[in-house]
Structure 1
Amino acid sequence: MFENKKKYLTSTPDQPLRNPVTPEVLRTARGYRLQRVRQQLLAADCAAILLYDPVNIRYATDTSNMQVWTLHNYARYALVFAEGPVVLFEFHNCEHLHEGNELLDQIRPAINWSYFGAGSRIGEKALAWADDIRAVLHRHAGDKARLAVDRADLEGLDLLREQGLCLVEGHSLMEEARKIKSAEELELMRWTIAVCERGIQRMHDELRPGMTENQLWAWLHYENVRHGGEWIETRLLASGPRTNPWMQESSDRVMQEGELVCFDTDLIGPYGYCADISRAWTVGHVAPSAEQRKFYRLAHEQVQHNMDLLRPGLSHREFVERAWPIPEPYWHNRYCCVVHGVGLADEYPALAHRGADWESSGYDGVFEENMVLCVESYIGERGGAQGVKLEQQVLLTANGCVPLSNYPWEEDWLV
């Protein structure tokens, strides 16, 4: 098993992978994504969208600046017109970061009116911000334009309305734009997945009894960063008794031989794309116990069954009704969703399980060709000593779904 896994590497562990993405692929992906946003705006009769979510800004403009920091510091934003310019409002003295980006028609200084940036001058700065947004919108779309907004503080929304603007909820527009991938986007995503799989392989090869969970998890970060990746959205790696229930984050726990170790990559890699893959091993790569083997086999069965169901034209409701029936002992600890979309991050849709879950939070829709999805499973009994988390990232084609991740399963655990 160990020797077979080592053959998965396409180069030696200390030699970085070669980036296969060409400038033309990146340019084409950029143009496609901007066009997707504009199509959604036109369909919603909106003149423009104001973007604050850094992932949405990345999707529409392919600009990146302090992505995690700007998730909680509202220091940069963009205004994208349906039939007009792309205007980026950038953080102090950062215009030079975007030289050569052909999508941008204008870069203006952002007005930060959060308490961190404005302190006691919030009111003054917020008014200046609203005046600036109204002026740019008026210049390119007139007085009666409808403006979509993906996220904003209440005070900001009120100020924009006081300026006479008609505001539209814009987060859903961006999710709809992002859900269908182009061929060039898939090239970018495959590169991120290759980087992620290099990190998974490195974790596999470095895993040994006596190391901590954090020491193991660091190898995924290492491979991601050295290949130009950006960040990892969660810290979901657990071993031994911490594998049940799921959602426990990587810690300084020392791992012992024979224990299960499970992880969920949630990796934002090169060009901002997400690789969301889960695997499970034993510490020391020793043979699994009967219970470990059973949990792994059930989790793998759930993933494969649900992958086999997916096809374009299938409704969300029908898929959930036909999804793998989780045995009663494992129902309480079920994963939060059956399947979810993925692109620059986890995306629409996220489908609830059947029954009470569907009644409380399920929503219908239709799967479409060129959606990218993650098929989920967690198997572990309530109050149990261990559990298995598995997940596969797939592309939905005209003939069903195909895996985008080629990292091998533990095939000898399935017999």
Structure 2
Amino acid sequence: MNRGNVACGETMDTSAVADQKGTETTLLDVRAYRLARVREQLRKNNCPAILLYDPVNIRYATDTSNMQIWTGRNPSRYVMVFADGRVIAWEFHSCEHVWDGLNLDLDLRSAVSWTFFNAGTEAERRVDVWGAEIVDVLSQRAPNELRLAVDRLDPLGAAYLTQHGLNLVDGQAMMEMARAVKSSGELVLMGESLRACEKGIERMHRELRPGMTEQDLWANLHYENIRHGGEWIETRLLASGDRTNPWMHECSSRVLQHGELLAFDTDMVGPNGYCSDISRTWTVGHTQPSDEQRKLYERAYSQVHFNMDLLRPGMAFREFSERAWKIPERYLKNRYSCVAHGIGMVDEYPNIAHQVDWEGGGYDGRFEVGMTLCVESYIGAEGGNQGVKLEQQVVLTESGCVPLTSCGFETDWL
């Protein structure tokens, strides 16, 4: 694989930190840092506690994981974190062991599930049991406090809590802000995820040949993720030939053809629950690109690296959007959905809209040191039959952004 040069500097090396501290020590530091970030947001928003159902938020606050995809669809475990650091956890049936070994001020209980799948026609009765316990816990631990942050809550639960005097506030916003700035330990854990992802990309590159299907190729990324302790992949974004334009076709049984473009976006949740979000584009058979393929690639590469060079801590999101690489008119309609976005355990705050989309989809803020971001590009002409998808994962430092992956670009196409 051609690894090329990266315009905004050397790849950040986290391996030395990992060797020095050891993964377990790193995890202890990261757990303390993340819980402190949640507590900081609660104090900043004058809120005594936050009720978490989103499995990614629960993982961030407590470093526990239990069937994350399933519990994301079936809310059956939940956690309340208090501003003083105390944690009450309601765990799924007979799964108390997922909390073993954690140094938390913890009150562990059994979850009450009131979704229709779990409760059927008993849902309203069970939500009364659930809600009475939530109200009781809050009144005991934070007397006279009526504010409770929640990240997500189905209608029956929200109705119960508000009818019993609680003022529900947006906990997802607090969690996104908490997760936005990464510690040095988090960068180590993210690096472990990225190394697993790179193994998958290298395997895909090695196995790529005409005659296999898109799904055959995509399976190689899953294989390396799982064997290196990874968890799941959020999307199936791999496309070939005319399915590369427009972007957002998920992989299929289509057979790969010699010389056509092949593009993918990993969206891979790897070891320790951190996401590796890398996009690359190749030719099937690793042939030399046609003039049109080369032109598309050069523009996508230019967009990513121009915007990486532009990024600086302290810059406003709107200023970045306004000064970002200008997409030529013929590619504008098929532009990617954002210029860049945050990355951590999954896609995270912020999401930076293109200037042309700012009025309807933009919001302002400022980049900070320690933010990890993905800089995006998709270049494909409106009505065209091929396109190029590139994306680079970076961390913001005092002097600008530094790539977190050594996965290279096809610089010999430029």
Using the size of structure 1 for normalisation, the TM-score is 0.94
Q: Distance in 2 between matches of 1:22 and 1:364?
A: 36
Q: Where do 1:257-336 residues align within 5 Å?
A: 257-336=258-337
- Report deviation, 1:172: 0.3
Query: Which letter maps to 1:155?
Result: L
Q: Where do 1:53-132 residues align within 5 Å?
A: 53-103=54-104, 105-132=106-133
- Report deviation, 1:137: 1.2
| Bigger RCO (CA 8 Å, 6+ sep) | 2
- C-alpha distance after superposition, 1:167-196 (max 9, x if no partner): 111110000000000000000001100100
Q: Runs of 4+ in structure 1 displaced over 3 angstroms?
A: none
Q: Is the 8 A contact 1:61 1:104 kept in 2?
A: no
Q: Distance in 2 between matches of 1:103 and 1:331?
A: 50
Q: Distance in 2 between matches of 1:67 and 1:217?
A: 22
- C-alpha distance after superposition, 1:272-292 (max 9, x if no partner): 000000001001111111111
Q: Percent identity?
A: 60
Matched, 1:383 2:376: no
- C-alpha distance after superposition, 1:249-272 (max 9, x if no partner): 000000011010000000000010
Q: Is the 8 A contact 1:227 1:270 kept in 2?
A: yes
Q: Where do 1:245-264 residues align within 5 Å?
A: 245-264=246-265
Matched, 1:400 2:396: no
Q: Is the 8 A contact 1:369 1:398 kept in 2?
A: yes
Q: Distance in 2 between matches of 1:114 and 1:135?
A: 21
Q: Distance in 2 between matches of 1:145 and 1:100?
A: 33
- Report deviation, 1:104: 5.3
Q: Is the 8 A contact 1:393 1:405 kept in 2?
A: yes
- Report deviation, 1:84: 4.5
Query: Which letter maps to 1:308?
Result: D
Q: Is the 8 A contact 1:333 1:381 kept in 2?
A: yes
- Report deviation, 1:144: 2.2
Structure 2 residue aligned with 1:25: 26
Matched, 1:171 2:196: no
Structure 2 residue aligned with 1:180: 181
- C-alpha distance after superposition, 1:97-148 (max 9, x if no partner): 2210113512111110000000010011000010111111112111324210
- C-alpha distance after superposition, 1:366-406 (max 9, x if no partner): 00000000000000001111000000000000000000011
Q: Distance in 1 between matches of 2:107 and 2:185?
A: 25
Q: Distance in 2 between matches of 1:98 and 1:257?
A: 50
- C-alpha distance after superposition, 1:267-324 (max 9, x if no partner): 0000100000000100111111111111011000000000001011100111011000
How many equivalent pairs are there? 399
- C-alpha distance after superposition, 1:332-364 (max 9, x if no partner): 000000000000000011111113x10111111
Secondary structure of the 2:222 match is: helix
Using the size of structure 2 for normalisation, the TM-score is 0.95
Q: Distance in 2 between matches of 1:165 and 1:228?
A: 41
Structure 2 unaligned regions, length at least 5:
5-17
